[in-house]
Structure 1
Amino acid sequence: MAKARRRDGGAALRTVRWCATGVLAGTGLLGLLLFALGREHAWQALGGGLVVVGASVVLGGGLGFLFGVPRVRGGGTGEPQGSYAPNTNLEQVSDWLTKVLLGVGLTQLGSLGERLHDLGTALAPALGGGPEAVPFAAALVLYFLVFGFLAGWLVTRLALPQVLTETDQALDLFLAGQDRDRHGDKVGADDLRVRAMQQLGLLGGSAERQAALAGQLPPASGAPAGPEGVVAEVRSTARRSALTADQVRALFADGSEGRRIQALALMQGDPALADLPSVLDAIEHPRSDFEQYHGLLAARGLLSWLPAAGAQRLRDAVATQLVDPRGIPYGSDRSWLAEKILSRLQGTALVPEQPARPAPQAVPAQPGGPGGPSAAGTS
């Protein structure tokens, strides 16, 4: 309920923000349009005014961006290392300007009008010329310069820290995936790469029922919390587990989604515990997208262990899910894993299963041969 209220409040705030932006920009543009319609060359005045508006907004937005760029926290004052804090340059400049104004005195501001008049005189020809264009040009520049500054500063202050933080987190996940890959943990490496691409918005997620699923899984003792944290923790302890492959297979066959996912996590961590029919069932008949994703991860860890017949079954199952309209959607984390599995299967020479050798049969002893009955005695 609290999350829903926060979402509603955030949506309302965004609506108010966009409405205010539209009203401010629309007011200035409407004034420009009305002014241009009263000129002899209306289209020329309107075009010149739009160029002045654009230049003012760009200049003001650039200044707002410079003042709003966040700084990286140093971590030495109890702040988390690598996070971002608001830039205080605007506060420092504001304080500096206040001191300058008090020191120089308000009497020196008289030249500001002359500066604005010179600016209006220089821009008046773009608005059709004439004495009435001079103050309008100066007012147009001031209006949209302030508008651009506020818009650039607010967007930079509100949006850029989140973008930079998410990008840093994605980079950390990619680097962690590279480290896992170097240590031979292909499954964990691909999982981290998928999470990094999800962080950047390049792939869709599969944990669409995290709240319901979290109740079926044991709580994670570390980060990240939630189903992903539980799966990562179970996967990391698979090789130290005393469970056998039969017990993991029975855990998957238990039927509940939570136990099936725990079994898949154990199979991901230790391919010796994996069971191909269970993995295929998770891919072809998943209880959720989240389960299918981890079924594909478990299959990813089995690629170098499968004989030819098992690899063919896995290839058929994955390819069917990719082309099925109700199967794996394009652009999701599952489609990325499925395509990677298929590319590995197509680029790997499959080892055919060796037929079982027949048990050696005992050769009957020949009469008179070694170990056979002795020849008849001579008379």
Structure 2
Amino acid sequence: MERISDWLTTLLVGATLTQLGPIKDGAGRLFNGLAPAVGGQPGASAFAGSVVVYFAVVGFLVGWLYARLRLGLAMSAADALLDLSRRAASAGDLGTARAAKDAAMNITQGTTGAAPTSPVQNIGGIADRYDELRSTPASPRRTGQMEDLVRQGRAMAKSGEFSAQDVQSMFTLGTPGRRVMALALMEGDIHLADFSSVLQAIEGSQSAFEQYHGLIVANSMLGSLSPDERRGLKTALEDPTVTSRWAQDSARQALADTIYNRLDETP
């Protein structure tokens, strides 16, 4: 489709440049023909021409902006979800494959005019899948599947369909899966980040996985924190009841140390 679009653009530009004379004559006839519809007074042809040109340009810009800002992101997110579905199916994880495929279908339905489910419902399905995985025995494979679900959440954040209030409510009122998906959305779009939720994910996390992603978001938003928020985060990272939770986890320990050292820097 991208190649065809490029070919058509080249064709239209080339045809326009070679047919400027006929286009000018045709536009003149069109504007004169529209003049009676806008009053037929002197200057009506020029006014009709201005209206045609204005809405042609605005229509092009609106279509181009929609394709770039919404359609392109939706297609990229759907492609990523379908790729995840294929990989999960090949690995025998039919639950993740089905959830990823359903999420991709919901995204494409939303861009083609079919009755879409809301973004919160879409990510709610991914959160439910996370909760299902969490109930299974811990293993490297399970952790990898959970990270795949977080990647889906990050991709959905780029759709622009979520507000900071949506994400905060999802974390505050949600299940463990929704809390993690809220953090994933914050990772995908740092403008959705809510400090109180991130601090809760670090201090009162329901799992090591949630705490790890809370630390990731905290590290990303350090530059925008107020002095009081920086002090609150530093206090949490000094709390023995918090630090003891990652004593045997080098990844969380290293990330926490990075954040702590950055907090000592001048904001």
Q: TM-score range by the shorter chain?
A: 0.3 to 0.5
Name the structure where helix makes up a greater proportion of residues: 2
- TM-score normalised by the chain length of structure 2: 0.45
